[in-house]
Amino acid sequence: MCIKFYTDTEILTHHLTISMFLVYFFHFLGEFSMYVTCLDMEGVLVPEIWIAFSEESGIPELKRTTRDEPDYDKLMQWRIGILKEHGLTLKDIQNTIAKIDPLPGAKEFMDKLRAKCQTIILSDTFEEFAAPLMKKLGMPTIFCNSLEVDEKGFITSHKMRCAQSKLTTVKALQSIGFDTIASGDSYNDLGMIQASKAGFLFRTTDKIKADFPNIPAFTEFDELYEAICKVIEN
């Protein structure tokens, strides 16, 4: 067997070729623009999973989200500790998720937005949580993380796709020629919002709005859709 080793120049040329292919591929998909809209999931398109599970399990501590704790790794380690303390498994959480529906108007909003521009959900949630919710939203593209689970079904750890995954993804899209528009509701959305050509807060807290008064904030899907369309059409 002959193994071919590539030079740095060949590797760079290969990467650039793939990047340009992606740019032109998306550009020629019907009437799609060179914009990619990046949306948070929980609190924007669907209810907060951990709040729903907190109510289902009767454990009020689990209501804490990234609106309260911006350090997601710290928040997840804390959550995993509480789950272990109460003997709760991944299946217990999935049973709650199965009962969750998208927020009113979210599916219609996604349908309209995906017809207008490329749209990706960037979420700190996990593959093991997101699948049934994506079906209810019409199977949009989602970039999220994964869980490590032991043989008894207990969550032992979480694996982030990459550091600062939302901001990193937005910068990667920009590096291959796309302009990004971003929207979210929490502290961990601020990086992608501020790094994008346009960014919007959606159904966020009064504190976040007060701390970042320069970021337009909306509460209705129609308002957010119109704001995104104005950016694309200008």
| Residues labelled as active-site residues | 40, 42
**Which one, of 22, 146, 54, 192, lies nearest residue 202 by Cα?**
192
Contact 192, 200 (CB under 8 A): no
CA–CA separation, 133 and 40 (whole Å):
13
Cα dihedral across residues 172, 174, 179, 183: positive or negative: positive
- For Cα atoms 5, 8, 10, give the angle at the middle one, nearest 5 degrees: 75
DSSP strand E in the chain: where? 35-39, 118-126, 141-149, 155-159, 179-184, 198-202, 217-218
**Strand pairing partners for 121?**
39, 142
